[in-house]
Structure 1
Amino acid sequence: MTGYLTTHVLDTARGCPAEGLKIELFKIEGETRTLLKTLATNDDGRTDEQILPADAFELGEYELIFHAGEYLDRVGVPKEEPRFLNIIPIRFGMSEPAHYHVPLLLSPFSYGTYRGS
């Protein structure tokens, strides 16, 4: 089996997919963070392509950065300064060549994630 990485962002406060949310993927090697890709979610809260496709997949430590503040501003969540959730980093490891799905469940004051399928 070949590994790859996907995500899905759901706006749990509004009960819908989070469309247009910017996501960055970084590879973590020791103290070095290398930006691999920047994407945005589509109208289903998913990216139009795999975040890390099979031909680029490597085992190791990664970080997804979800730009939640920009999204919350755009959908009309009342502004606060500073916003409680602005940038959401999720650091995780991929230890086997499998499908890793790292979704984000988002509201203005909380978020959750898990290893999905």
Structure 2
Amino acid sequence: MNRGISLHVVDVASGCVAEGLGLSLLRLDGERRVAVCEGRIGADGLLGELAGCAADCVAGVYEVHLEVAAFYRARGMSLPEPAFLDVLVYRFGLADTAQHYHLPFKLTAWGVSCFRGGA
């Protein structure tokens, strides 16, 4: 991948990719949020739906919404109500559209880590 955004999600509690985790990618346009892509993490840990979205990636501010609580509940984990992490919102900026921005998320029901890869 030469440009655009890619997302990879690993459930570090199980040591496996977070296959089936629902998420959406939005671009902020003033007060509006414009949907760029949404889907579920695949068996490779990636959001495959993003592959065709490189042309939609313009410089600006973006949000990834990860459906953390729903993911863990679907796997039978008992979480409190409300869950510590329900829908996790991760906001980041994309300054240079000629570059590739890879966001590798590592998560549990209780925490998350992410950094910019793919520079």
User: Residues 34-78 of structure 1: CA distance to partner in whole angstroms, max 9, x if unpaired?
Assistant: 222211101122122326633222111111100111101011222
Match of 1:25 in 2: 25
Match of 1:84 in 2: 84
User: Which residues of structure 2 form unaligned runs of 5+?
Assistant: none
CA distance in 2, matches of 1:36, 1:54: 10
Mapping for residues 9-88 of structure 1, pairs under 5 Å: 9-50=9-50, 53-88=53-88
Larger helix fraction of residues: 2
Residue pair 2:38, 2:49 contacting (<8 A) in 1 also: no
User: Which residues of structure 1 form unaligned runs of 5+?
Assistant: none
Following superposition, the deviation at residue 99 of structure 1 comes to 0.4
Residue pair 1:12, 1:105 contacting (<8 A) in 2 also: yes
Moved segments of 4+, more than 6 Å? none
Q: Percent identity?
A: 32
Q: How many residues align?
A: 117
Using the size of structure 2 for normalisation, the TM-score is 0.89
Residue pair 2:36, 2:56 contacting (<8 A) in 1 also: no
